[in-house]
Amino acid sequence: MGVMAWLLPVPAAMILHGVTQTASNGYRAFLHSAHIHWGVLTGYLVGVALAVSIFLIADFVPNTATVLITLGSFPFIAAAIPKRFALDMMRPGTPIICGLAVTVCQLIAGVSGPVLDIFYVNSALTRHQIVATKAITQVIGHVIKLVYYGFIVGTLLNGEVDNIPWYMFAAAILLAMTGTTIGKQVLDRMSDHNFRLWSQRLLMVVGLIFIGRGLMLL
């Protein structure tokens, strides 16, 4: 998303990123379909509906710096939460919070991976279940982002993505699906322990990058 926003107007970047990630996560969900934990989706969709309702009613959008610093802080906040209060996607009510938080981040910043991850790193799900369930929830989020920026905000109607050639969408989708295929092979070779360990480390690194970029924009 950062690269796309660097090269394109933000609304156009939102659309291109949404199309790419819908294809990528949809393909990932297909590859891991046997491992999707469908039980969390009901609560997740409730949270999604709450977030969309808020955006349709309110007219508030924080600045980019605030969004980035907030996103970057989530992994560190999650790590500081005592284990008994840790965010766990399998705990009752947590999927609603997850759906709300993730959708808000999707609509404001275009990305929600670092936020979504903190709801899974403490869960009892296997690495395959985590990847599969995250993929299907990400598909939901990116489709909503496409609808919001493409029709509700009016991006498509205003022609702001008309200058993006069709082959950019095709190339982005192809690269995303190729990366997803390679990622599955890497995942199959990892243990659950290493998957959680490296996920947490990566979250911290990404969080620091977000915070640093946000501070630069202040």
Give every CB contact of residue 1 below 8 A, 6+ residues apart in sequence.
Answer: 13, 17, 109, 110, 111
- pLDDT tens readout for residues 14-30: 778 788 888 888 888 99
Q: 1 lies in a domain?
A: no
The pLDDT confidence band at residue 44, using thresholds 50, 70 and 90, is: very high
Could you list the residue range(s) of the whole structural domain that residue 34 is in?
Answer: 8-217
Hey, is 36 helix, strand or coil? Answer: coil
> DSSP for 139-191?
HHHHHHHHHIIIIIS-TTTTTTTTTS-HHHHHHHHHHHHHHHHHHHHHHHHS-
Q: What is the pLDDT of residue 35?
A: 93
Q: What is the pLDDT of residue 100?
A: 94
Q: 2 lies in a domain?
A: no
Number of domains present in the structure of the chain: 1
The reply to whether the predicted model has a pTM over 0.85 is no
Q: What is the pLDDT of residue 38?
A: 92
Q: What is the pLDDT of residue 157?
A: 47
- pLDDT tens readout for residues 47-95: 999 999 988 887 666 666 777 787 788 778 777 767 666 678 888 899 9
The pLDDT confidence band at residue 111, using thresholds 50, 70 and 90, is: confident
Q: 38 lies in a domain?
A: yes
Q: What is the pLDDT of residue 140?
A: 93
Q: 3 lies in a domain?
A: no
Q: What is the largest CA-CA distance in the chain?
A: 51
Q: 67 lies in a domain?
A: yes
Q: 208 lies in a domain?
A: yes
State percent of the chain over pLDDT 70: 82
- pLDDT tens readout for residues 136-162: 999 999 898 888 877 665 544 455 555
